[in-house]
DNA sequence: CAGATGTTTTGATTGACTCAAAACAACTGT
DNA sequence: ACAGTTGTTTTGAGTCAATCAAAACATCTG
């Protein structure tokens, strides 16, 4: 059960990130809640339904502002356009269906920050570890 | 010290994969050995130095044939064009420098196929797990 | 409510890659 | 060695996702 987020709290999130509150930003942030792992194009189509004047560039601008301010995260699975989600700050990963491209979150639980310490890092300082799982979603297993 | 691979063995690899042996393919395969994690564009530039008539599309074609036949692997780090390497069949991962984009191989050693079993896979069947580490390479740590 | 700053629109442009048809070259069998 | 079949490369166009820049506009500050 997902309770609708009060629109005031969306505005608060945006303001708290040091950004001006605008209609496109409110719309993108709300849609990102309802449909995580959306592409810019998909967000644009949905935003447009309620704010017909909105441009695709505006959506890219909003997403750049959000990711820059740390209130949204951009993920780029191989072969897919970038996807965006609101869930930030936790070390979580993704599983992508190789057949239908469905994406789900995966909490990384092998210890705490699993795989975060590669055995041989060739002298690199590791900041983050990003894991992408590939497989078949329940629907595609059936088919 | 890297010993040059006899060109006959390159041809053998290609033939063994069920592909016809051609000059562009030999060149790409050899360069892939010398410079792993190269982009198509970079391979093209290098191939062109010795085979001036070669087209970029030919390089894309060669890479598609190689990856399809399993004698090369394509990796697609976020924000980067696709990179190619000859090392295939082992579960190895990559570390990317966030400053200069240098890429190194990382042998995954947390157990055997680490992170390969996500805690909650939402009913997905997991086939592969791909890990990308992000950090600073030795040179960029100094700077 | 006016001003400074930040956002969005409009329009052009790029980078990476894909598609398709025609010309060409590699392996087969003789 | 050579002709035929098949697969590869060239040539040329086109797509998709994303970025850049200038002008018009809206938001928050005082």
B75 touches chain A (CB under 8 A): yes
- What are the C-alpha distances in Å from B68 to residues A57, B64, B75? 36, 6, 13
| A59-107: pLDDT as tens digits | 999 999 999 999 999 999 999 999 999 999 887 999 999 999 999 999 8
Predicted TM-score (pTM) of this structure: 0.92
Instruction: Give the number of C-alpha atoms closer than 13 A to the C-alpha of residue A71, restricted to the C-beta side.
Output: 23
Q: What is the average pLDDT value for chain A, to the nearest integer?
A: 90
Tokens 């390159």 -> residue: B10
User: In whole angstroms, what is the distance from residue B23 CA to residue B54 CA?
Assistant: 9
Res A5: pLDDT? 73
Nearest Cβ partner for B95 among A121, A132, A134 = A121
Cβ neighbours of residue B30 under 8 Å, at least 6 residues apart? B5, B7, B10
Q: How confident is the model at residue B115 (pLDDT cuts 50, 70, 90)?
A: low
Is residue B1 predicted with pLDDT exceeding 90? no
Tokens 């960029």 -> residue: B140
Q: Which residue in chain A has the smallest CA separation from B79?
A: A76
| B10-25: pLDDT as tens digits | 999 999 999 999 999 9
**The two three-digit tokens of residue B132, written as one number:** 């990308």
Q: CB B124 to CB A114 under 8 A?
A: no
Is residue A129 predicted with pLDDT exceeding 90? no
């Amino acid at each position: 059960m997902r309770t609708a987020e009060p629109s005031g709290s969306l505005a608060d999130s945006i303001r708290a990130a040091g950004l001006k509150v605008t209609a496109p930003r409110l719309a993108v942030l709300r849609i990102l809640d309802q449909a995580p792992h959306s592409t810019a194009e998909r967000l644009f189509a949905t935003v447009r339904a309620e704010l017909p004047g909105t441009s695709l560039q505006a959506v890219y601008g909003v997403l750049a502002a959000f990711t820059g301010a740390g209130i949204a995260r951009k993920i780029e699975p191989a072969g897919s356009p970038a996807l965006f989600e609101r869930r930030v700050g936790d070390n979580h990963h993704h599983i992508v269906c190789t057949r239908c491209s469905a994406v789900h979150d995966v909490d990384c639980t092998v210890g705490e920050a699993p795989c975060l310490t590669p055995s041989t890092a060739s002298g690199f300082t590791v900041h983050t570890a990003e894991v992408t799982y590939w497989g078949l979603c329940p629907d595609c297993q059936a088919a």
